Structures are given as structure tokens and as C-alpha cells.
Amino acid sequence: MTRPDETDRRILRALQKDGRMQKVELAVQVGLSPSPCLRR
């Protein structure tokens, strides 16, 4: 398993604020497209 990088930490922070947000909204917030965001 790899160590979390800054993008992973942004995803976690966003989900901690709102764990029910839509995947597209999460992707926009962290600066990724939806598919790579969900893979992380």
C-alpha cells in the first residue's frame, strides 16, 4: 500500500466535511475527473 499524497488528503478532507457529496462534486473540489477520483 502506498502512502497518501496531497490529492488523497484533499479527498479525505472533503469527505470529512460532507460524506454524502456527489462523486462529481468531490472530483471538482479536489481537481480530478470523476473516474480517477473514485479510484483513489
What is the model's pLDDT at position 2?
Answer: 84
**Burial call 4-24: b when 16+ CB within 10 Å, e when fewer:** eeeeeebbeebeeeeeeeeee
Q: CA distances (Å), 20 to each of 1, 2, 5, 31, in order?
A: 26, 26, 23, 18
What is the model's pLDDT at position 7?
Answer: 95
pTM: 0.85
What is the model's pLDDT at position 1?
Answer: 72
| Signed CA dihedral, 31, 36, 17, 28: sign only | positive
Q: What is the pLDDT along the chain (40 residues), one digit of tens a residue?
A: 789 999 999 999 999 999 999 999 999 999 999 999 999 9
